[in-house]
Amino acid sequence: MKEKREPEEKRGNVLPISMDAGFFFERAVSSLDRYHYDKALKYFRKAVEYEPNNPVNHCNMAGILSEMGDYEASNAALSVVLKEIDPNMTECYFYMANNYANMDNFEAAEEALVTYLEEDANGQFLTEAEEMMDLLQYELDRPTKLKSIKSMEGVVEHDRARELLEEGKFTQAVAILEEIVEKRPDFHAAHNNLALGYYYLGLFDKAMDTIGEVLKKEPGNLHGLCNLAIFYQHAGNSAALLELSGRLRKIIPFHQEHVFKLATTMGILGEHEAAFGHFSRLLRNGEMDQDPSLYHYAAVAAYHTQRMSAAKTLWRKVKRLDPGSGVADFYLQGLEERETTGAQISRSMTVSYHYHLPFEEQFKHWETSQDNLASEISGNPLVRSSFFWALRHGDAKTKLQVIQAFGLIADLEVEEALKAFLLEPEEDQYLKDIALFVLRNLGVNHPLPVCFGEKTTLVDPSRVASGLPVWKTEWQAVVDLALKQMKRSFDLQQQHDLETLWAEFLTLLYPETPEITHIEGWAAALEYLTAKIHHRPVTYEAVAERYGISASTARRYTRRIDEVCGVKEKMETIFPSVQ
């Protein structure tokens, strides 16, 4: 009798057990499902034994150790991954940060979390990391020491650049944005803001090129289209502007940020009806109802669409929210004049969407309070923008006013703007001399390149401009005394002209210059003549009293300078276009 065999298919059901890492991983997961953490840890450790170079096994083991409350052992396992197996598994730093936080070791948690954010390119746990950041800031009672987030490369820097733009620090913002777009050419928001930065600085061609790059890659980018429309308007490209503004009129944005951008753009383009509709939407929304600038924008749109009652109501709201700016008072007074006389508001400039006093009106205020204007320029980015723009595109009188106003601000942005102005070949030499004088007052005491026509020369702003081979101490003492006396009542142009007059006097007589033994007499004469050149009321008696000398002494020294320099003629020739 033959031996019976089991069918082949039945024998095939008996399978050998494969004792590999996968087997122990499955057992560990099964144990976890049943909350058997001890068994799960044992199986994860076996998986590590079978595949010691697989970082996932180590991370799984670290995870279960953390679940069991053994945070130190968990971090030890994670350290093995980072130091010995795969340093690119940056998520391990996030796990370690969690462990340290659970151990109340917040300093170590911060260090690990910062490392994760600065090194991890994927940002898998970005939301959780931000929540942990808030916790650590609370526990440590200070801001977290974070420089950048790699998975959001450029985003942190971009936010900083936006803040700088809003503060009116355009040069600094542009430097950051240029670096961002070089690293991330697809970062459209950075390109848009870079274009605005160039525009605010008066670099129109660069602004156009930059916005063109955005719209080439994303033709429907709303911020890019709005910026382009403003640039078309500036360039006087009416055909292109007509087509683009027609497209913009048909857009009804959903996001508040887009509504605001489109509203302000349409207002600047003169599409006031569309602007009023968008601004009204924003006010109805209520999220910005404490922003005085929004009420001003809506008031301007109302004014231009003949909604005078609405404009008055809106400007009154501006006054309640921001009584110190003077903007609402200026326009409300204009409305009262219009109602009284039936004429349009016509003082200084047309009604503007910019939330600051009109440019010429600012200078009227400057005449009465330089401190107020300095504060306004420094703190209001729109005002700063108008000043930077005017320095490049204004007439000679406006540029002179801007240069003098910059002397009140005295920050890095101003210094860089004036240095750039010195390199413009077409700018008036007198204006460049004033700019150098302001730079000296700002403490710049090293040679600067100055463009004279086709030639560029290094000029030291710390020295009085003259062609003399020497500049004696007693000559400088006369200037110093005069400027000290004049500083509060004479503007920077007049102070500069005093220096120029003194340098000219000495140059014309050199080398037969007079012995300077009576510093007060020469200084008083310079102040008297400078006041006369600029048509300021002055008497010998008043000047002599300030310098502690007799009126006859002041007259004698004045006559001597006039004989050499012909000051009466200068009263007709010194920069007559800016008087």
Q: Per residue in 262-279, pLDDT tens?
A: 999 999 899 999 999 999
The residues facing 455 across adjacent strands are 452
- pLDDT the model gives residue 576: 36
- pLDDT the model gives residue 331: 87
The whole-number average pLDDT for the span 191-214 is 90
The whole-number average pLDDT for the span 494-506 is 89
The whole-number average pLDDT for the span 363-390 is 59
Instruction: Using alpha carbons, list the distances in angstroms from residue 431 to 54, 413, 420.
Output: 70, 18, 13
- pLDDT the model gives residue 357: 59
The residues facing 449 across adjacent strands are 458
Residue 472, pLDDT above cutoff 50 = yes
Beta strands in 175-252 (DSSP E): none
Report the phi/psi class of residue 110: left, alpha or beta, with left for phi > 0 and alpha for psi in -120 to 50: alpha
Residue 209, pLDDT above cutoff 80 = yes
- pLDDT the model gives residue 262: 92
Amino acid letter for position 257: E
Q: Specify which of 58-62, 120-124, 306-310 reaches the highest per-range mean pLDDT.
A: 306-310
Residue 259: CB partners within 8 Å, gap ≥ 6?
253, 278, 281, 282
Closest residue by Cα to residue 533 from 484, 572, 500, 492? 572
Range in 33-37, 50-54, 465-469, 552-556 the model is least confident about: 33-37
The residues facing 450 across adjacent strands are 457
Q: Specify which of 18-27, 148-157, 528-537 reaches the highest per-range mean pLDDT.
A: 528-537
The whole-number average pLDDT for the span 396-424 is 81
Closest residue by Cα to residue 461 from 477, 438, 484, 491? 438
Q: Specify which of 209-223, 247-261, 354-368, 406-420 reaches the highest per-range mean pLDDT.
A: 209-223
CA distance 572 to 421: 27
Report the first-to-last Cα separation within the chain, whole angstroms: 133
Q: 381 versus 291: which is more confidently predicted?
A: 291
How, if at all, do strands 455-459 and 448-452 pair?
antiparallel
Q: Which pLDDT band, with edges at 50, 70 and 90, does 186 fall under?
A: confident
The whole-number average pLDDT for the span 427-445 is 84
Closest residue by Cα to residue 91 from 73, 58, 115? 115
The whole-number average pLDDT for the span 35-48 is 72
| Three-class HEC string of 490-541 | CCHHHHHHHHHHHHHHHHHHCCCCCCCCCHHHHHHHHHHHHHHHCCCCCCHH
The whole-number average pLDDT for the span 270-293 is 86
Q: Which pLDDT band, with edges at 50, 70 and 90, does 349 fall under?
A: very low
Instruction: Using alpha carbons, list the distances in angstroms from residue 377 to 17, 168, 371, 394, 564.
Output: 80, 9, 10, 17, 41
Q: Which two tokens stand for residue 512?
A: 């037969």
CA distance 217 to 214: 6
The whole-number average pLDDT for the span 73-88 is 87
Closest residue by Cα to residue 58 from 70, 47, 68, 69? 47
- pLDDT the model gives residue 551: 93
Q: 457 versus 265: which is more confidently predicted?
A: 265
CA distance 264 to 256: 12
Model pLDDT for residues 213-223, shown as the tens digit of each residue? 999 988 888 89
Q: Which pLDDT band, with edges at 50, 70 and 90, does 3 fall under?
A: very low
Q: Which two tokens stand for residue 132?
A: 């942990």
Rg (alpha carbons) of the chain, rounded to whole number? 36
Model pLDDT for residues 105-119, shown as the tens digit of each residue? 999 998 888 888 888
- pLDDT the model gives residue 33: 58
> How confident is the prediction for the chain on average, in pLDDT?
80
- pLDDT the model gives residue 13: 52
Q: Which two tokens stand for residue 567?
A: 């000051």
Q: Specify which of 165-179, 301-315, 326-340 reaches the highest per-range mean pLDDT.
A: 301-315
Q: Which pLDDT band, with edges at 50, 70 and 90, does 360 fall under?
A: low
Q: Which pLDDT band, with edges at 50, 70 and 90, does 19 fall under?
A: low
Instruction: Using alpha carbons, list the distances in angstroms from residue 404 to 202, 396, 407, 531.
Output: 19, 12, 5, 17
Percentage with pLDDT > 90 across the chain: 23
Report the phi/psi class of residue 365: left, alpha or beta, with left for phi > 0 and alpha for psi in -120 to 50: alpha
Q: 2 versus 431: which is more confidently predicted?
A: 431
Q: Which pLDDT band, with edges at 50, 70 and 90, does 477 fall under?
A: very high
The residues facing 452 across adjacent strands are 455
Global confidence as pTM: 0.52
Instruction: Work out the angle at residue 504's Cα, subtended by the Cα atoms of residues 503 and 506, and round it to the nearest 5 degrees.
Output: 65
The whole-number average pLDDT for the span 66-82 is 88
Percentage with pLDDT > 70 across the chain: 81
Q: 66 versus 239: which is more confidently predicted?
A: 239
Interior/surface letters 220-252, b for 16+ CB within 10 angstroms, e for the rest:
ebbbbbbbbbbbbbbeeeeeebeebbeebeebe
- pLDDT the model gives residue 346: 45
Q: 3 versus 121: which is more confidently predicted?
A: 121
Contact 57, 21 (CB under 8 A): yes
Q: Which two tokens stand for residue 249?
A: 């009129």
- pLDDT the model gives residue 34: 61
Q: 45 versus 448: which is more confidently predicted?
A: 448
- pLDDT the model gives residue 405: 79
